[in-house]
Structure formats: C-alpha cells, structure tokens
Structure 1
Amino acid sequence: MKSNVNQKKQPEGSDPSVSGIRKGLAAANMKTGEFGMVSRVENDCVVMPIRCTVDGTLCQEEVVMPESDCRPASSEQKTVLQRLFNGRRLCWDPRKALVKVNDFQPADGERIRVSVLGEPVATGIFRHVDDQSRAVFYCLLMKNGSLRCNASEILGAADDYQFQPIGSTARNKLSKAMEAAHVVWNGHLRCFERKNVSPGRREFYYYLDEYLQIHRVQDTYKPRDRKRKAAGNYFATAEEVRGVQDCYLAILRLHHGTICGKEDRMKGQDE
C-alpha cells in the first residue's frame, strides 16, 4: 500500500527548523535522545537513515520514529552530527535526502560552498585550515548576502562545516558580489585588487612578449593584464622594461653568442 507523505504546509517565508519536521533536515527524538537526518515523513512517522545515538555514535541504519516524539534538531545537535559526518568523510544531500561519501579537499584559492548538513552558510574562496583547525578564507559571501573580503576571513572550526564544490549559480552570485564591491580576485597572486570603475584612470604599462620585444598597452583589467602583473612582466616605464630586456639578451648571448643588435631588439616597440 502506498504511503501518504505528511506534507504540512508552511507559511510563506517560514523557517523549516522552527515550523516542523521536514525531509532533508535534522530532527531529534525527545524520548530516546537520538537525533539524525530525515529522509521521509509519512503516516505520522519520521524515517532517519543516519543518526547519532545516545552514546554519541554515528549509526547508519534506517529507523522509523513517531513524528509526535520528534522536533527539529538544535544548532548544537546539527554541529555534533556535522562533526561525526566529517569524521567518517560523509556528507548529507538535503535535496535527495541521502548520505554520500565526501572526499572533497578544497585547495588554496578554490571557490567552494559551505553548509551545515547541506543547509547553506556561505560561499567563498578557500585559503587553508590554520594551526588552530579553523577554516580561513580569502573572502566569504554569507547567506544573508554580506561579503566579507579581507583575505583572511576566519569562518570557524573546519570540522563544524561541510565543504563541497561550488555550483554555477552560486559561483555567479559570488562573482557579482565581488563586482558590486569593486574588487577583482587575482588567482595568481592570491589577492584582491581594487577594480577601477573609471575608464579615464586606466594606466598604461610595458611588457615583454615571447620574442623579447617591448610593448606599451593600456591596463583594461582583463585576465591577460592580471597574468602579466602576477608574472612580474608589468612595468611602469620604458626604462624599467629595457633593463630587464638587456638582462635576458645578455643571458642569451652568453649561451648562444650575439643574436641581435640593439636596433633589432627595439623593433616592434609600441609607442
């Protein structure tokens, strides 16, 4: 016989953790003291495929509990569950309401999403886990829309959160938030650069191409400009770039003999 799923309609904008037990969220049994993740709510019963027992053990075995005995899990209980999940390298998918293996290890400079058991907390650019086991980010876009961006944002204890690769929608939101704050992420230098919003203030710079020819171009804040700056191939004056050009040519002459005259190496320089 097909079960009838108990779908209690919530007022628009209500918080599921306050209004009732929901599929995909955490719940606690007030009688047994256990708490876990909910995969189904049907026939006045709550189904948990994974839970924390009264002795603090993570048990991955489906159990059915009376809905009347349960309530939404507290923040403290969710944190305990998240730590147990991380200890087993597991993560929770709230949309599908199932447990998955989580071998994801964020790298320095990687954009990721942060949650507690799948409930969104923030998206950001990961930096590292410090010597106090805290997750440090270059920037964080919090759930409320606020952008924290000082290159050393401490989120909290790394074990308290679920880290996963960022999706395209969240990635776009993070990029738009940085754009609104007039900052650009330089992935090569691992830093933020202030975006100049006035075209009239854009400056010119010099760089060497692959043939050691000097070029003068306008910095339009495109990836190619940031890459040259990150590589050190970005000079304010012609004198600076000529000095570097002379060094490169001297090294080539040392190994291969004279390759060109001064007239040749200056050929192609932009005015």
Structure 2
Amino acid sequence: MKVVVIGGTGLIGSKVVARLGEHGHEAVAAAPGTGVDTLTGDGLAEVLRGASVVVDVSNSPSFKDEDVMDFFRTSTTNLLEAETEAGVAHHVALSVVGTERLLESGYFRAKQVQEDLIRASDVPWSIVHATQFFEFAKGLADGMTDGDTVRLPDAKIQPMVSDDVAAAVGRAAVGDPVGGVVETGGPEVFRLEEFIRMGLAAQNDARKVVTDPQARYWGAELREDTLLPGPDAHLAGTRFADWLARQK
C-alpha cells in the first residue's frame, strides 16, 4: 500500500515513514525538501499518484497567529483537493488532545480549522489527537519563561514520547477510516510544573519552575484537565523518567 506522509522528513513524519516501511508499505516522505509544497500545491499531484492513504503530520514554520492559520487553512485545502482528484481512500491527520478546549490560542484555532476542513471533505478520514511530546519539554519551558523563571498554569499533563506518537499515527494509517478522533497519550499524569522541572533538570537547566495561576498555555487559560485525554484513549508504555535516563 502506498502511503504519502506530508511532513515526512520531520520528527514524527520520519518515524512514521520508517515504521510503515518496516511493515512492508510503500511509505513516501513528502515535504518542501523532497519537492512537495502543500502551500503552493507544487508536487502534490505527482506524489499522490497511486496513493491509498495520506498522513498529514506537517506543521507551520511560523507560530504567529496569522501565519499558522494561513498555513493550516491553505495546506489542508490544497491537500484535500489533490487527494480527491487522486482518489485517495483515507486521510489521517495528527492533531492535539484538547484542541477544541484551547481556542483562545491562535495556534489551536488554526488546528481546529484544519480539523473542520477534514470533517467537511469528501475524503474518508481519521484524526489522531496526541498529548504533548517528551521532546518538547524544553520548548514549552522556553515559551513560558519570564527572566529566569518558568511560569506554568496549574494543570495536569499526560505526555508521551514521539516514537509512541508515530506508532499511533501508523496504526491509524493502516486501519480503516474512523470518521472521528482517536486519542493517545502517555502512561503517567504529571502536574505541568513537575513535568517541566524533570525535563529541565535532566539538561542541567537551572531555571526556576513555578505554578502561576495567571500563566497561560500558548495564550489559552487551562483547567486542571484541559490537556488530558479521555478515558478511551490508547495509552503508550514509555515512561518519562525512563526516556530521560536514555538521553544521558
């Protein structure tokens, strides 16, 4: 089966391509560096020829509100139109647990638009909602740093490693379209402060980490459970402390 992975040279995409290839599928990495640009449409028709499944794990190169909205709206529209022309049987997109609860954030408003476009299309679809990645603990801290202090909302998080995210996307790609959302998360629930403190300590980062009731998450106010998956989520097995130990 030919599976085209949009964003296939990135962190998740490269892992999805490798996993699908190991299971005997023709997995094709599609990205600007391979001659496929979903913003302009360049290379889409050619790469989708003969494809049964398209997996979209791409992300905006800029996180300014207007840029990220333009990226997901334009890219998703072009991609779905090209898939319809090519007769693609299944569109799989990676999104974020809690997207619909985070619409104060420009980034998550754009992700919601992406999801709405997928739902309204004629291409059979599945959306994978994943929790925050272990690898992004430092980036999350950087975005919430004030001086030498990281100020975090009082909320919980259930992070997972990128390998397990790729596995969840791969399972969706080889399965039937569900016409809905499949959630996945890590095996452990942390307070945001605990997760970030552990991640920074492993990198000998001396920033102070505190819970601040006024802090926001990429512009959005959080409830305690905003970032947590529901009870039917598929939970991966990799624990954060074990993953951190392997990074040394």
Per chain length, whose mean CA-contact separation is higher, i.e. which structure has more relative contact order (CA < 8 Å, sep 6+)? 2
- Specify which structure has the higher proportion of helix: 2
TM-score by length of 1: 0.25
TM-score by length of 2: 0.26
Max radius of gyration: which structure?
1
